Chains A and B, each alone.
Chain A
Amino acid sequence: EDKVVQSPLSLVVHEGDTVTLNCSYEVTNFRSLLWYKQEKKAPTFLFMLTSSGIEKKSGRLSSILDKKELFSILNITATQTGDSAVYLCAVKIRIKAAGNKLTFGGGTRVLVKP
């Protein structure tokens, strides 16, 4: 059975802190790993990672994938209250004759206090 596990479940930090979110996976036919941010309702796309060891960066957010150890990290530096959200990790899996599907982890809830 395909599994995507995120840790920690939740964390509380203060503005300016750095947070590191983890996503580990055990799947067959891995294609890529995606990170989403969910503030209130609709998740919004952050990163898609396909290759090991190549960091993707967007402002204060960065992410990297390790396909040997089967995990990814999402880093947020100099956190702001606007970073408070649930961060979702998803793995795209190839399914024979049916294309691909995304399997999501349980999410990490981040609360940034002023």
Chain B
Amino acid sequence: DGGITQSPKYLFRKEGQNVTLSCEQNLNHDAMYWYRQDPGQGLRLIYYSQIVNDFQKGDIAEGYSVSREKKESFPLTVTSAQKNPTAFYLCASSIGFRGGSGANVLTFGAGSRLTVL
């Protein structure tokens, strides 16, 4: 079955440590995204990637980094520079990102919950 796999589901981190969240998709989607969700709030875009070896900052990119070396994979690193990293992180993908192609409906992974101790 096609889908998006995020790991780990739960992660605890000490202050000052970098952590990397994994996101893998086997949907053959070109575009991938990382969102952050805080309690009682909607999703905020961290980074997105339209194609391999290319990515852009979203609305809240500070303190995060990404890479897109393979079509299937879009890992997110939460660095020690992120002041308030405790949150629920959602990875998503879509068929096409450039204007008008496909439905641009996002398929989401099950999320990773990061807690900083």
Chain A residues within CB distance 8 Å of chain B: 4, 6, 9, 31-32, 34, 36, 41-45, 48, 88, 90, 92, 94, 98-107, 109
Contacts and interface: CB of A to CB of B under 8 A. Distances in A.
Interface of B: 31, 33, 35, 40-45, 48, 50, 56, 58-59, 88, 90, 97-99, 103-111
6 contacts: A88-B42, A88-B43, A90-B43, A94-B99, A101-B45, A104-B43
Given A41-B88, A45-B105, A100-B97, 12 more contacts: A31-B104, A42-B108, A44-B108, A48-B103, A48-B105, A98-B50, A98-B56, A99-B98, A99-B99, A104-B43, A104-B44, A107-B42
Main SS at interface, chain A: strand
B42 A105 contact: yes
Contact of A41 (B42, B59, B103, B110): B110
> Which 8 A-B residue pairs are closest in the complex by CB-CB distance?
A104-B42, A42-B108, A104-B43, A99-B97, A106-B42, A41-B110, A41-B111, A99-B98
Nearest to B35: A104
A47 to B, nearest CB: 10
Contact of B45 (A43, A44, A102): A102
Contacts of A102: 33, 45, 106
Nearest to B106: A102
